[in-house]
Structure 1
Amino acid sequence: MKAYVFPGQGAQFTGMGQDLYEKSPLAKELFEKANDILGFSITQTMFEGTAEDLKKTKVTQPAIFLHSVILSKVLGDTFKPDMVAGHSLGEFSALVANGTLKFEDALKLVSKRALAMQKACELEESTMAAVLGLEDHLVEAICADIKGTVVAANYNCPGQLVISGDLLAVEKACEELKERGAKRAMILPVGGAFHSPLMEPAREELAAAIEETEFHKPVCPIYQNVSTFAVTDSAEIKKNLIFQLTAPVKWTQSVQNMIKDGASEFIEVGPGKVLQGLVKKIDRSAEVRSAEV
């Protein structure tokens, strides 16, 4: 069974999507439609902008979404997923790929998500940190004992967990984690505490937009960050998507469940190869590759 997976924030690169735009009339049409929906030329920033330009919140998330979704559309009849999943932002790409969301509706949600997260980040000094070489349960226990807000945010693969919270609490947690044997506990260059309770204002804002959006019956199951199991009920998908901003990304568990349910090949759709690396660390026997036109 083929599992198509979609990357999240951090996978962007200068010139992303330009080859698709130049080679495919369908891609060109969808990119131009995106420019109209967003009200600015995101293609200009994607194709010609600097790495710094691509880091801007209103650009990063829609850019990665567009690269992933348009690539899946250009694949045409060869794109036949048996199951899909996306890492954080990538879940929106996955929901277009399996027919739950229309391209235009998902792009509007992604744009609102990016701006709502930016606003939430500005309310309190917050950050995230990567923790390597400790068991998940130990990281969770140490975070629970720290004063302030710090929680497990991304379960990326065994031995690699990202924590998230207010700056002082994350710094304190990093000190404790190193003392308890973490190989590394390093602050990440991100704008705020994603997938933590500090994203509650953004979750509320995005929830209103998600509630107003029509969700369709998917053509195949999605393994969502919040639940980790196969979901095909559009109401349940909507509920999980609303809680995604304040809940952890359970990528390890999702991939394990996909393999248990028969996934034999993981195909990453979008920029970069991060998810292929994570899948291999979760299960060395898994077949992985990038989607190519």
Structure 2
Amino acid sequence: MTGLAFIFPGQGSQEIGMGKALTDAFPAARAVFDEVDAALDQNLSKLMWEGDLAELTMTANTQPALMAHSVAAMRALEAAFGVSASDALFVAGHSLGEYSALASAGAISLADTARLLRIRGNAMQGAVAAGEGAMAALLGADLAQAEAACEAGRATGGVCEIANDNAPGQLVLSGSKAAIDAACEHARANGVKKAMALNVSAPFHCSLMQPAADAMAAALADVTIHAPVVPVVANISATPTSDPGTIRQNLVDQVTGRVRWTESVQFMVARGVTATAEAGAGKVLTVMQRRIEKSLNGFTLGTPEDLEAFAAFIKGEAHV
């Protein structure tokens, strides 16, 4: 079988109707949504399939919703086609997707994962007063240009940090609004192709999120974490771990830390990964990885048709 990694999307991939086709086709997927609804004491699945996009996009709803779709895809893949996380070399997720990866690899129970993401969403939303924080994307910038922009931003006295290293030429800054504005101005004046503010509700993955990190440390202290069936490549380190204590600390640190996605993908490729399967909503990570490593074969696992095509690929590889 090919060198496989399952990857899991983060915030921004949500849409009304997400996961409904999986539920209609696979009882195992339906069971995931039922369990998440019960854990949250909320009809989250109804919101996902019939609700208002603005309500779904509220961070406290988006995070468990995306995780539910991802895990539903993985459970359906295993129940219907006999393919699971244990068939991969690694799992990895972007930001909240790291929780989806851990749930799919058996490290955290589905109910606990849903409750943790509800806490995480509320804590991240409440960490900074509305209007005080901002995020911006730098397109066409390298890390040195992004660091220089951050330095210019910090000269205002505010916080300005690299929040996401998503792919070559796609970096995201996070921090105080005035500092982010100054960083964008500096970037534009110094050859960066595009510096644009992002429509986000809070400045994620920067030191302003420390109150949310503290909340997650308290929440995670009460949760049982098992060793995952395969190593999880962590956002904060871009290296794999199966140690429950390290996983717990990584989940705290990633709230304020940089999502090192470029390095995570590069690490997995260097360790033999030749194909990825993005479980859940959309194909953001699959598109981004083309900028990181063109040789990677990328699949998405969001619909029944996706699962069938991927299973056919895996079974074909197994008989080569």
Under a length normalisation based on structure 1, what TM-score does the superposition of the two structures give?
0.97
Match of 1:26 in 2: 28
- Establish whether residue 230 from structure 1 lines up as the match of residue 235 from structure 2: no
- Whole-Å Cα distance in 2 between the matches of residues 253 and 153 of structure 1? 14
Preserved contact between residue 10 and residue 96 of structure 2 (Cα < 8 Å): yes
How many angstroms does 1:104 deviate by?
1.2
Match of 1:103 in 2: 110
- Establish whether residue 257 from structure 1 lines up as the match of residue 267 from structure 2: yes
Question: Alignment partner for residue 63 of structure 1, among 57, 62, 65?
Answer: 65
Match of 2:74 in 1: 72
Preserved contact between residue 83 and residue 220 of structure 1 (Cα < 8 Å): yes
Deviations 1:52-97 (A, max 9, x none): 2221222111110100011111111212222110000100000011
Query: In the TM superposition, what are the counterparts of 1:1-293 in structure 2 within 5 Å?
Result: 1-76=3-78, 77-79=82-84, 80-122=87-129, 125-146=132-153, 147=156, 148-291=158-301, 292-293=306-307
3-state SS of the aligned residue for 2:187?
helix
3-state SS of the aligned residue for 2:255?
coil
3-state SS of the aligned residue for 1:145?
helix
Structure 2, unmatched stretches of 5+, are: 308-320
Deviations 1:7-36 (A, max 9, x none): 000000111111122222222222122112
Deviations 1:85-119 (A, max 9, x none): 00001000000112211111111111110111111
- Whole-Å Cα distance in 1 between the matches of residues 211 and 139 of structure 2? 30
Moved more, 116-125 or 133-142: 116-125
Under a length normalisation based on structure 2, what TM-score does the superposition of the two structures give?
0.89
CA RMSD, Structure 1 to Structure 2 (Å): 1.2
Moved more, 135-144 or 215-224: 135-144
Structure 1, unmatched stretches of 5+, are: none
Percentage of matched positions with identical amino acids: 39
Match of 2:312 in 1: none
Letter in 2 for 1:117: M
Preserved contact between residue 238 and residue 263 of structure 2 (Cα < 8 Å): yes
- Whole-Å Cα distance in 2 between the matches of residues 202 and 52 of structure 1? 22
- Whole-Å Cα distance in 2 between the matches of residues 275 and 191 of structure 1? 21
